[in-house]
Amino acid sequence: MDSAAIKRNTLLFLFVGSVIIAVIYLIGVSNSGSDILEASGTVEVVSVLVGPEAPGRVMEVYVEEGAYVEQGEPLFSLDDEILRVQRVRIINAGNAAITAADLQLLMVQQALDDLYEDWPLAAAQAELELAHAQDALDDVVYVHDVRQEGKRASKDTIDAAEANLILAENEVDRAQGAYDSLSGRSE
């Protein structure tokens, strides 16, 4: 039975008792001439079941059955060993959770420190890779542009370039021969 039901039953008992006392008093006042009091009525017994909110073994009972007790007066004591064991388990689980959270925080902090330490190298590496990619793109664009119809060299331009190459090679051979003759070497 919960505490609300206990309170309700107690209040009902007090109300019924007060009504009976009031009736007896009024009868007594109206019959003030005689010392004999006569009354008739019915009194209903109220039983209250008392139990603990938490399970446990009763260690000691402080009152006798049927005794009158005041509100808040302890009636019995329970063995709290089960509660103490549960408390220790909860505290240990809480401490383990705190330790795990501390470890996770330490790992995250280390990862953040590593990130701050390595970012200049990573940035330089990224810039180098970007430069290589830009060079590759430039090469592809150049090859693409050269293959376009209006951007190729004409046959005359190619022939002129080949002729200039032959003349330049002849000039190099003549200059080499002059150098060799001046330096005293001969072929």
Q: Where are the domains of the chain?
A: 3-78, 80-147, 153-187
The residue type found at 17 is: G
Structure tokens at 129: 């890779």
The pLDDT tens digits for 55-76 are: 778 888 888 888 888 888 888 8
The pLDDT tens digits for 93-152 are: 999 999 999 999 999 999 888 888 888 887 888 888 888 889 888 888 887 777 766 666
pTM, rounded to two decimals: 0.34
